[in-house]
Structure 1
């Protein structure tokens, strides 16, 4: 295992030279998997492409920092979404929020690269993580884990199958986006649409079920019949599940907490920046993800020692590292990482 960014960079340079001599990206993937077994946890190329990538040392860091008990929100929060336009495949990162830092950074647990958006693909991803015997993943099977995603059936069903004990939250941004699309389909006027969304926001902020029901009755009075039927069948129960009073019952005590996957959106945007929104071969992207995961690991460890861009909360002092435990790793921003990877890939 390379010990610092320089060694990782040199290893990638050597690997890239080898890859450039071959044209078959799927064959290259097998060479990468054999050379980096700690990175590639699952690889299938027949009948369809599927990879699960993760960094054991980064998982170990997350496992340790998940022990931090926040006073106003659940300790173990995951976010999951799928991005497009990186290549002729999908990328689904499993992310978590590290609450022991003031900045609460988003860190990838694992990354799924898959050709098809199916329940089976996501099941394979979650099963790979669940069945892995590494001690660094032992907290992943705990009961008190909360995951936010966009309610896509393939994701919902796969989580229910592999991790039925996880609590699933629907992403509020996607929920409103779907409602907006339906309003346009029903040709709802701009003014009425604005009032409807104001009621939706009030519903999410409900602090009691009675308050929710009263607001819903008011919403019902202004909604056209077909739109109200859509909300009844598709959104009402989902909204109840992410109201303030429901979130508080799960340990989210912040008055302004809203479950949304903007962290996924931000991470996916960063992935697309790697190739300037151009499509890349999957073998080159895997090597890029290797560098990214290494960056996250170094950034977290440096921050625990007071050398990074994140700052431990005062009540999380027990997670601090001694500076002597940190190797002389250069400070480097994510933008620098992106620029270096672009130079390597193109």
Structure 2
């Protein structure tokens, strides 16, 4: 009971502060927007003295795309919200993941919530498919377990303070647009954009400043906030909604990046070595082929010279002559062993292949 009292008191104190500072100019040190993501255009609705609620149709991937409301404090829903949600938005999976508590002990809690874009406390919508997306518990409630109303990275912080702003300014109207932001055809939004502005009872706009470092200037004087749909104990596959557990996402991602860079470097070195080895092998083969070609050319030249030397007849006065004939003796034999291996060639005749003139 005491904890509940403290929490209520904290919200009341913050509400008073926000009521006083709600007209301050909004500025941010930097933009938290991921410019690679697609979204629906951000613009406040025209002022109207009655409640307006506009839900964009789901896209071809069956994803919710935008939820927009304008209302006064008196138009907030009063019916009690149903305890359970039945609709599973596209990409819905859930896991009980480990996480490290502040005391160092390890516990488990659900990773995802079926997250309302415009919260039930404004819309009164519960199982409306156009108003639901998979959101991490950390984005939705500001903590891995239970709630942290002070976490400015969570939707809970802004929803509670906008509700307090409405209560503090009962004669004003709140214009509140919530847009899931996707990368291409991924099923899970990587960011959620909140956009809010007030209208006085005469229709004049008033800037709402919730004293968050993540607030930025939006279109048409609205304040916008970009919140990441992630969790410090999970690495999410936004394509299909699957995820893996890690007790320290930052360290895990850093190690994975280092391992990937090391593998890439080793692959580059291996590729360079293979290319170098292949180049040397090609050079050796080319040199060997060139050497063999030179040897073949030399052998051919030598054979040709030998053939020319053999077939060139000696002068007539240096060979054995008999009655105008010349003796041709088969190679490997001489005058003494010529029997059966010699022939007479008429004067002027050609030397047969495989024979030589007999020199005396």
Normalised by the length of structure 2, the TM-score is: 0.20
Kindly indicate which of the two structures has a greater share of residues assigned to strand: 2
> Which one has the largest radius of gyration?
2
Kindly indicate which of the two structures has a greater share of residues assigned to helix: 1
